[in-house]
Structure 1
């Protein structure tokens, strides 16, 4: 095959150009620290690097989201810890107020002190996070959730919204709790029914909170338990006030202090000596706010009462304080579980972040040992090629003529 001088020159120039391009690319990789200068450098690796970069960006965003959730939850947990201590103090004061040696004036003084605790409780319920958003207003974060009227009735101005934040590819966590659930929707009595003595009672009868004997037998109706005293004997009768019909087998029943009274799947104890005409109510448990519980307790302490009226009022108040306290503790437990989950996800996310960055580095970062070795080899190859080309280019018939 006949090879012309032009072919020799063209082939050598092309080869030298390609070698110089590889040398320049290696120099750029060393200078930039990036192996993938363009997608054309390694299309497969470039595609994989894009996937890893996107995964790392999502993980980074979810790491930030976890912080966004953790901050208000931590503040809320701290706030509810203060609410817990406050309710425990209120309960202690209510128990102390039951001391038979105290006078109405003494109890009124305790009531005044509890009024200050009520205002403190409203302030805690209106707490905000570091950004000024109400902790317990649902989606109405710029609204003061709990407002007291001139009559002292506290109403809820928020809603039931929970801000769900994506903290993991398959997990959303609520960053807040509805104030209605925490402070307003608290069942009174024993959670199924509530017992109460009428304020007009004059005797010494004291009714317990009671319990459920047979859930299937419960009617969900309200009842009245009335006492009659005649010829030294005390009897009681139970009427279903929802239907207006006496409960079968519960009319003019003999009463002795300390006995259990049972009907329609429920039971409660009566102690003391009810007077003729005294009456007690049994009704289905209803939602009662912790603010009303404290307000009712303050009213009981501030009203001149004696004997069983004090005991019944305080007993009912203490039961409802316990219910409010239990509800707050349940919320704190939920918050604690969410905080623990966030910590676990954060540790997992940090580990994933490290792995993603290592994978990305392996795909796109320069291996300096290999790059420098390649650079030296490419320089040597280029220099040899240039030298050989110079020698070949001098070969010509005219050299020997």
Structure 2
């Protein structure tokens, strides 16, 4: 078979170019340290490498979210811990004030201490994070959550939103504690109603509990409120009559016994202690109490000479002590949520570190270059390229005149 000069040149040039391409490919691998630099190097491995890089990118984002969540949860847990300790100290202050040997000046000093504690608690509740956002305002991070209104009461201006951070596929963790939950919505220690003890009280008693009593049917009359009047029953005891807000008599107990609860209209009320004739108190619905309102009430009682060391004042202070306990427990509950979330994100971060280590090992197997094998292949391709180039140069320079 005859081979034309053009055909010979094309074949030899193609051989040289193929060897050059193979040599350049190995040089690129040696330069990058990667066996697969393009999908053409190994299509199957390239797909696996791309998936692993995507997984690692997702893990990196999860870790960033976890770092953000950890920072905010740690700060939240710390602030709530400070608030819990502060509220506990206010109970000790109120207990000191109840002591009958305390003078008026000492009682005023305790009231001033409570006011300072209230202001310190308010400062904690208005804490900011490193970005200047309010910790306890829910979604309204730019709005100061707590402030005094014109009536001297502390009101909440945030919302109940819990900001979520994605820490793993399909897993979100709350990174904040709304201020209304931590400071405003403590369960009422008495149950479903608050009590207002009235001036002139002479009996030594407190309302131990006042709550709805299912399955009894409760039918409120708006505005809902109840008055408990105690009168002399002319038999050595007292008679109790309960009225609703419209003045309708709901229950009469001719011979009141504080060891037995008073049940009416689906409500059960239990007293501790014995009221005297002409004593009276009112009740209104209240399932939650604010720790700020509780401390404000304690200060008001201690600064009111008409209530100090009176049965009315003592009953109100006893109720306040229960509310302080409830407020502290609520803060502790929210602190526990932050602590559990903090522990959870740390666990997810550890899992992500393990996942990335596994992915990196798999990537190494798929794309990392075996330098010894690559150098041997490079030497082989160089030798082949030199041989082809030398042979081509010799063949291309041969003419018919060399044989004449």
Taking structure 2 as the reference length, what is the TM-score of the superposition? Answer: 0.88
Distance 1:211 1:151, change over 3 A: closer
Indicate if the aligned counterparts of 1:36 and 1:46 stay in contact, CA closer than 8 A.
yes
Q: Distance in 2 between matches of 1:277 and 1:84?
A: 40
Q: Distance in 1 between matches of 2:103 and 2:219?
A: 39
Indicate the residue corresponding to 1:363 in structure 2.
366
Q: Distance in 2 between matches of 1:220 and 1:180?
A: 29
Q: Distance in 2 between matches of 1:129 and 1:150?
A: 28
For each residue in 1:240-274, what CA deviation from the matched residue of structure 2 results, as whole angstroms up to 9, or x when unmatched?
Answer: 414644334x332244xx623331452413314x3
Q: Distance in 2 between matches of 1:276 and 1:135?
A: 51
Q: Distance in 2 between matches of 1:282 and 1:238?
A: 13
Residue segments in structure 2 that go unaligned for 5+ positions in a row: none
Greater CA drift, 55-64 or 37-46: 37-46
Q: Distance in 1 between matches of 2:39 and 2:5?
A: 38
Question: Which secondary structure does the structure 1 equivalent of 2:155 belong to?
Answer: strand
Indicate the residue corresponding to 2:28 in structure 1.
28
| 1:204 pairs with 2:207 | no
Indicate the residue corresponding to 1:317 in structure 2.
320
Indicate if the aligned counterparts of 1:195 and 1:210 stay in contact, CA closer than 8 A.
no
Indicate if the aligned counterparts of 2:201 and 2:280 stay in contact, CA closer than 8 A.
no
| 1:62 pairs with 2:62 | yes
For each residue in 1:314-342, what CA deviation from the matched residue of structure 2 results, as whole angstroms up to 9, or x when unmatched?
Answer: 11101111111111111111111211111
Q: Alpha-carbon deviation of 1:188?
A: 2.8
Indicate if the aligned counterparts of 1:108 and 1:303 stay in contact, CA closer than 8 A.
no
Q: Distance in 2 between matches of 1:79 and 1:243?
A: 46
Q: Distance in 2 between matches of 1:231 and 1:212?
A: 30
1:233 to 225, 236, 243: 236
Indicate the residue corresponding to 1:276 in structure 2.
277
Q: Distance in 2 between matches of 1:218 and 1:372?
A: 89
Q: Alpha-carbon deviation of 1:100?
A: 2.9
Q: What aligned pairs does 1:160-179 form with structure 2 within 5 A after superposition?
A: 160-179=160-179
Q: Alpha-carbon deviation of 1:120?
A: 0.6
Indicate if the aligned counterparts of 1:63 and 1:346 stay in contact, CA closer than 8 A.
yes
Q: Alpha-carbon deviation of 1:387?
A: 4.7
Residue segments in structure 1 that go unaligned for 5+ positions in a row: none
Question: Which secondary structure does the structure 1 equivalent of 2:187 belong to?
Answer: coil
Indicate if the aligned counterparts of 1:145 and 1:179 stay in contact, CA closer than 8 A.
yes
Q: Distance in 1 between matches of 2:177 and 2:299?
A: 28
For each residue in 1:198-256, what CA deviation from the matched residue of structure 2 results, as whole angstroms up to 9, or x when unmatched?
Answer: 2x1331231142265943226275433221136572213241414644334x332244x
Greater CA drift, 347-356 or 39-48: 39-48
For each residue in 1:165-189, what CA deviation from the matched residue of structure 2 results, as whole angstroms up to 9, or x when unmatched?
Answer: 2222212222222212221223334
Q: Alpha-carbon deviation of 1:76?
A: 1.0
Indicate if the aligned counterparts of 2:233 and 2:239 stay in contact, CA closer than 8 A.
no
Q: Distance in 2 between matches of 1:369 and 1:337?
A: 51
Q: Distance in 2 between matches of 1:102 and 1:259?
A: 32
Question: Which secondary structure does the structure 2 equivalent of 1:247 belong to?
Answer: strand
Indicate if the aligned counterparts of 1:147 and 1:156 stay in contact, CA closer than 8 A.
yes
Distance 1:218 1:80, change over 3 A: farther
Q: What aligned pairs does 1:242-321 form with structure 2 within 5 A after superposition?
A: 242=245, 244-248=247-251, 250-255=252-257, 259-263=259-263, 264=266, 266-272=268-274, 274-304=275-305, 305-321=308-324
Greater CA drift, 85-94 or 38-47: 38-47
Indicate if the aligned counterparts of 2:191 and 2:210 stay in contact, CA closer than 8 A.
no
Indicate the residue corresponding to 1:88 in structure 2.
88
Indicate the residue corresponding to 2:7 in structure 1.
7
Distance 1:385 1:26, change over 3 A: same
Indicate if the aligned counterparts of 2:240 and 2:256 stay in contact, CA closer than 8 A.
no
Distance 1:159 1:265, change over 3 A: closer
Q: Distance in 1 between matches of 2:235 and 2:113?
A: 43
Distance 1:244 1:151, change over 3 A: closer
